[in-house]
């Protein structure tokens, strides 16, 4: 019985070694599978929209959407010039741009970046693929003709998009830009509130949403204070393109 007991112990040891080796092999296979999955996911191009940049540098992008009116853009451009803010991004709807080519030319002359705000001001996610392409394409043609430069950034009307819209925009050479701080100037909540909405939420790498349409009646009144307070906190103003160049962007993914 003693001899049998010794043989059983050896077998148990062998079985333990084999079992341990199997576990190790399975673990390695699992790790390799995960590594392959991560590598594959990194290669896959998923529809994404940029809303901020992950950086420790105190840089923010002031962005202005314009869809209608002719009263507000001038004062806002005057303030930016007076405050020596040389970098900002304007997202222009193409019908508005056609009606106000002189303002578009001034924005270009002042050295600001121009992005597309689409053609028809509507919810593009409800459109067919063909109509989405038509709306983005019309705006692209018009803005290129007016500015002499092809825009490659787009902020969709109403900030509305889904996976299809993002995929089509990307296929057409556009990067979709959202925002992380909303001034809510479109609500006309009062100058002090607009300032608070921006300054209290601004952070390094922030994309700040503002408007230069006539319906936003308080933006030009709040803007000087916003600029002064952000500068006093050490912030530098850059365009969206400057902000995202060579930086780790924060993306909004749509399933």
Same domain as 247, residue 173: yes
Shared domain check, 130 and 15:
no
122 catalytic? Reply is no
Kindly compute the dihedral angle of the four CA atoms of residues 97, 102, 103, 106, in this order, to the nearest 10 degrees: 130
Q: What whole-number distance in Å separates Cα of residue 209 and Cα of residue 184?
A: 8
Q: For the chain, percent helix, then strand, then coil, each to nearest 5?
A: 50, 15, 30
Closest CA to 90 of 182, 210, 236: 210
Return the higher-pLDDT residue of 65 and 15.
Answer: 65
Strand partners for 50: 177, 251
* DSSP designation for 135: H
Residue 9 has pLDDT above 90, yes or no: no
The answer on 176 and 126 residing in a single domain is yes
How much of the chain exceeds pLDDT 70, in percent? 78
Model confidence over 69-122: pLDDT tens digits? 999 999 999 999 999 999 999 999 999 999 999 999 999 999 999 999 999 999
Q: Count CB-CB contacts under 10 A for residue 51.
A: 20
Q: pLDDT band at 200, cuts 50/70/90? A: very high
* Candidates 3, 211, 214, 228; catalytic one: 211
Residues 32 and 143 in one domain: no
For residue 245, the Cα-to-chain-centroid distance in whole angstroms is: 12
With beta carbons less than 8 A apart as the criterion, state whether 143 and 151 touch.
Answer: yes
239, pLDDT greater than 60: yes
* pLDDT confidence tier of residue 35, bands split at 50, 70 and 90: very low
Q: How far apart are CA 54 and CA 244, in angstroms?
A: 9
Whole domain around residue 29: which residue ranges? 1-44
Spatial separation of the C-alpha atoms in residues 178 and 163, rounded to whole Å: 14
CATH, residue 214: 3.20.20.370
Predicted confidence (pLDDT) per residue in 119-174, tens digit: 999 999 999 999 999 999 999 999 999 999 999 999 999 999 999 999 999 999 99
- The mean per-residue pLDDT over the stretch 15-35 comes to 43
Q: Please enumerate in sequence order all residues whose Cβ is within 8 A of that of 225, keeping only pairs 6 or more positions apart, or say none.
A: 191, 195
| Strand boundaries in the chain, DSSP class E | 48-54, 59-66, 89-92, 113-116, 153-154, 175-176, 181-182, 206-211, 236-237, 248-253
pLDDT band, very low/low/confident/very high, at 255 (cuts 50, 70, 90): low
Mean pLDDT throughout 3-13?
A: 46
- Per-residue pLDDT band for 41 (boundaries 50, 70, 90) equals very low
Among residues 65, 180, 185, 206, which one is catalytic? 65
**DSSP structural state of residue 245:** T
Q: What token pair was written down for 48? A: 């994404």
Do 111 and 184 reside in the same domain of the chain? Answer: yes
Structure tokens at 78: 């005057």
Q: Indicate whether 22 and 62 sit together in one domain.
A: no
Handedness of CA 145, 147, 151, 155 (dihedral sign): negative
pLDDT at 13: 53
Q: Please say if 211 is a catalytic residue.
A: yes
- Tens of pLDDT, residue by residue over 209-227, are 999 999 999 999 999 999 9
Specify the number of domains making up the chain: 2
Confidence of residue 248 (pLDDT cuts 50, 70, 90): low
Percent of residues, the chain, with pLDDT higher than 90: 77
Q: Residue 15 pLDDT > 80, yes or no? A: no
Query: What would the mean pLDDT of 27-37 be, rounded to a whole number?
Result: 35
The pairing of beta strand 48-54 with beta strand 248-253: antiparallel
Same domain, 65 and 183: yes
Tokens encoding 246: 């060579």
Q: Which residues pair with 207 in a beta bridge?
A: 61
Looking at every residue in the chain, the average pLDDT score rounds to: 86
How many whole angstroms separate alpha carbon 181 and alpha carbon 228?
17
Q: Mark whether 216 and 176 lie in a shared domain.
A: yes
What is the distance, to the nearest Å, from the Cα of residue 250 to the centroid of all Cα atoms in its chain?
A: 7
pLDDT at 253 over 80: no
Same domain flag for 75 and 189:
yes
């Amino acid at each position: 019985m003693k001899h049998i007991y010794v043989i059983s112990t050896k077998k148990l040891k062998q079985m333990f070694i084999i079992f341990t080796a199997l576990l190790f092999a399975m673990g390695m296979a699992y790790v390799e599978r995960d590594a392959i999955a991560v590598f594959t996911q990194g290669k896959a191009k998923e529809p994404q929209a940029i809303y901020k940049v992950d950086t420790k540098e105190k840089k923010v992008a002031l962005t202005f959407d314009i869809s209608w009116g002719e009263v507000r853009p001038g004062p806002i451009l005057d303030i930016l010039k007076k405050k020596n803010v040389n970098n900002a991004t304007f997202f222009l709807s193409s019908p508005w741009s056609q009606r106000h080519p002189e303002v578009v030319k001034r924005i270009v002359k002042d050295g600001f970046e121009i992005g597309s705000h689409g053609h028809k001001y509507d919810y593009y996610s409800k459109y067919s693929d063909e109509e989405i392409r038509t709306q983005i394409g019309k705006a692209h043609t018009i803005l290129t003709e007016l500015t002499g430069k092809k825009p490659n950034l787009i902020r969709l009307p109403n900030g509305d998009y889904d996976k299809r819209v993002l995929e089509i925009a990307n296929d057409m050479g556009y990067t979709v830009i959202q925002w992380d701080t909303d001034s809510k100037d479109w609500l006309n909540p009062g100058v002090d509130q607009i300032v608070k909405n921006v300054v209290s939420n601004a952070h390094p790498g922030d994309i700040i949403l503002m408007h230069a349409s006539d319906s936003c009646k308080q933006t030009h009144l709040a803007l000087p204070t916003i600029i002064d307070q952000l500068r006093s906190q050490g912030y530098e103003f850059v365009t969206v393109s400057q902000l995202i160049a060579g930086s780790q962007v924060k993306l909004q993914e749509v399933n």
